[in-house]
């Protein structure tokens, strides 16, 4: 009887240690992959480093990518199965405007994924940056969009559009004004006051 007990006990311990551990591993969250595409634009901004930040934790995903000559980026990110890609902010740092030659070194443009219903054809521009900053400071998305729309005197459909492809000259001027202020070290929180009511011509920014 004792001999049988001594022979069986090691197998019981092995089952507890390795069997249970294996079961726990198989139920772990392996995450899900999400493919994203978009453009960083004032005019198209090339060589901008694109990263993804979780709004709740402030942590960045490991993946990052760089925009092409036309400002476009394509990438696939991996997030937790329970997570939502709309909980992220896309940040684009640096790069150069291929139309105006404005250097964006040290400047971060961004867009809150909650602004978009889609995950393709995303736009990161000086204007989406204004909206996103308001959201980061506690404003609801709808309120942030309305405030920026009013300050810039543009239509709602223009808030999330690519300024370089818009036929709205006023939108292009506003985007260039914001970019000009950002790239010259102007505090982003004060940009709205500086932009409101200005009538600068687009040629001044080039």
pLDDT: which is higher, 86 or 22? 86
Q: How far apart are CA 116 and CA 121, in angstroms?
A: 10
Would you place residue 164 in the very low, low, confident or very high pLDDT band (cuts 50, 70, 90)?
A: confident
Render pLDDT for 112-154 as a digit per residue (tens, 0 to 9). 999 998 888 999 999 999 999 999 989 999 999 999 998 888 8
**Global pTM?**
0.76
Render pLDDT for 95-113 as a digit per residue (tens, 0 to 9). 999 998 989 999 999 999 9
**What residue spans of 59-162 are helical by DSSP H?**
126-136, 141-152
Domain ranges of the chain: 32-205
Q: Note whether 113 and 86 are within 8 A (CB).
A: yes
Q: How far apart are CA 124 and CA 162, in angstroms?
A: 8
Task: Characterize the bridge pairing of strands 49-54 and 88-93.
Answer: antiparallel
The CATH class given to the 32-205 domain equals mainly beta
Q: How far apart are CA 165 and CA 41, in angstroms?
A: 9
Q: How far apart are CA 66 and CA 21, in angstroms?
A: 40
């Amino acid at each position: 009887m004792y001999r049988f007990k001594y022979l069986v006990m090691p197998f019981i311990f092995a089952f507890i240690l390795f069997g249970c551990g294996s079961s726990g591993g198989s139920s772990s969250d392996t995450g899900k992959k999400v493919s994203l595409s978009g453009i960083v634009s004032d005019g198209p901004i090339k060589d901008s480093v694109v990263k993804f930040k979780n709004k709740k934790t402030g942590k960045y995903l490991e993946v990052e990518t760089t925009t092409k000559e036309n400002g476009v980026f394509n990438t696939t990110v991996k997030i937790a199965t329970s997570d939502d890609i709309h909980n992220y902010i896309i940040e684009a740092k640096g790069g150069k405007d291929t139309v105006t030659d404005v250097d964006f070194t040290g400047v971060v443009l961004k867009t809150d994924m909650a602004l978009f219903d889609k995950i393709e054809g995303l736009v990161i521009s000086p204007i989406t940056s204004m909206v996103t900053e308001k959201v980061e400071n506690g404003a609801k998305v709808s309120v942030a969009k309305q405030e920026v729309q009013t300050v810039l005197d543009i239509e709602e459909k223009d808030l999330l559009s690519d300024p370089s492809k818009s036929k709205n000259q006023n939108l292009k001027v506003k985007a260039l004004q914001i970019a000009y202020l950002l790239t010259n070290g102007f505090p982003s929180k004060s940009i709205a006051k500086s932009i409101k009511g200005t009538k600068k011509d687009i040629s001044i920014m080039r």
